[in-house]
Amino acid sequence: AVVSTQSGHYGRDFDNSSPFVNFGTDAAHHGSDPDKWDFKPIVPPISLSTTFKQPAPGQPPVYDYSRAGNPTRTAFEECIAKLEGGKYCVATSSGLAATMLLVNTLKAGDHILCCDDVYGGTNRYFNRVVSNFGIEITMCDPTDLEKFKSNLRDNTTMIWIETPTNPTMKICDIAGVVEIVKKRYEGKQVPKVIADNTFSTPYFQRPLELGADCSINSVTKYINGHTDVVMGVISTNNKEFYDKLTFLIMAVGPCPSPFDCYLALRGVRTLHLRMRQHETNSLAVGRWLEKHPRVSKVIHPGLPSHPQHELAKRQMKGFSGMLSFIIDGGKEEATLFLQSLKVCYDSCICAS
């Protein structure tokens, strides 16, 4: 259901910025130049070939094997890199595959400092899989920068932040974390700062422009937006790190299918339109829930009641459709509430 705008820009209580310039145009056109192909298609074709003819052994003109690269995948990656304000992008078979690819740049004895409220799949992967390979994991509240700083170690090689977090919608100060890391490791090897941008999308937030080394998204959610693709992306401005990721996607193999890349490229073209309406709707729902006698707490970074509302306004261009809220009672009451919904569905995926 479409909810009318309440006040401000798209229902916000502020209008300190407009969406990133030319976002919709870039989403529709970047990576899809018809002149890439001899037959000038307006929509990039789905290239299903797994292998490509070479003029001589070991001399592929562009592509050699579809796990390493594919024309349809390249079109999607170029589009996402542009939208993230980055130079490079690697698409993967899922959001967690993107996480795995990043962790594969580490080695035994390394340390990951991760925010304590994080997507359940990331938490499970870090603590039940990665920890078995000699990589240490520390979970810490990202809203307390001094506490976050105190958990940095000499062997910390990766900082993992998610903002807003899933599911309690904490806001991580990306620029603040980057500044702390640079000062702590001045003159040394600086840990990579990874920001999970899934809940914001590049339409409302660009971690790379705030100093993060990589921005990661689960394409499955907002970017594709149609609940019919499972994919992930990693964007960066670091050519050396990008080359390492492209080697790993060939060596480890978590590449997306050309058809999924085609669908996601189709989906991202309407991202700017969908995110505006998501924001409008979620703010209207959040304001309504705040007044409901059976709701004890609403957590939405776009509402003044959010403890980091001011940080969210500085760091983000707006807010998505995500919010959390607490109702009176316990598990039984929460289950009854979910079973009684008429428009929304109780499912394990969000943001579509």
Nearest Cα to Cα of residue 70 among 62, 80, 59 = 62
Q: Which of 63, 88, 119, 262 is catalytic?
A: 119
- For β-strands 192-196 and 156-162, DSSP reports them as parallel
Nearest CA to 52 out of 72, 76, 34, 35 is that of 72
Q: Which of 12, 73, 82, 221 is catalytic?
A: 221
Active site residue 262: no
Residue with tokens 């999607």: 76
> Is 67 one of the catalytic residues?
yes
Catalytic residue among 26, 117, 173, 196: 196
The active-site residue out of 36, 67, 184, 266 is 67
In angstroms, the CA 79 to CA 84 distance is 9
CA separation for the pair 208, 84 (Å, rounded): 7
Which of 128, 154, 126, 129 shows the shortest CA–CA distance to 140?
126
Under 8 Å CB-to-CB from 330, ≥6 apart: which residues? none
Asked if residue 174 lies in contact with residue 211, where contact means CB atoms within 8 angstroms, the answer is yes
- Whether 119 sits among the annotated catalytic residues: the reply is yes
Alpha helices in the chain (DSSP H): 23-29, 71-83, 95-103, 120-128, 145-150, 174-184, 201-204, 239-252, 258-268, 271-290, 309-315, 331-339
Q: How crowded is the C-beta side of 3, counted as CA atoms within 13 Å?
A: 17
Q: How far is CA 73 from CA 100, 101, 220, in A?
A: 19, 17, 15
Active site residue 196: yes
Amino acid at 148: F
HEC readout, 197-244: CCCCHHHHCCHHHHCCCEEEEECCCCCCCCCCCCCEEEEECCHHHHHH
Q: Find tokens 């309406």 and name the residue.
A: 277
Catalytic residues: 67, 119, 196, 221
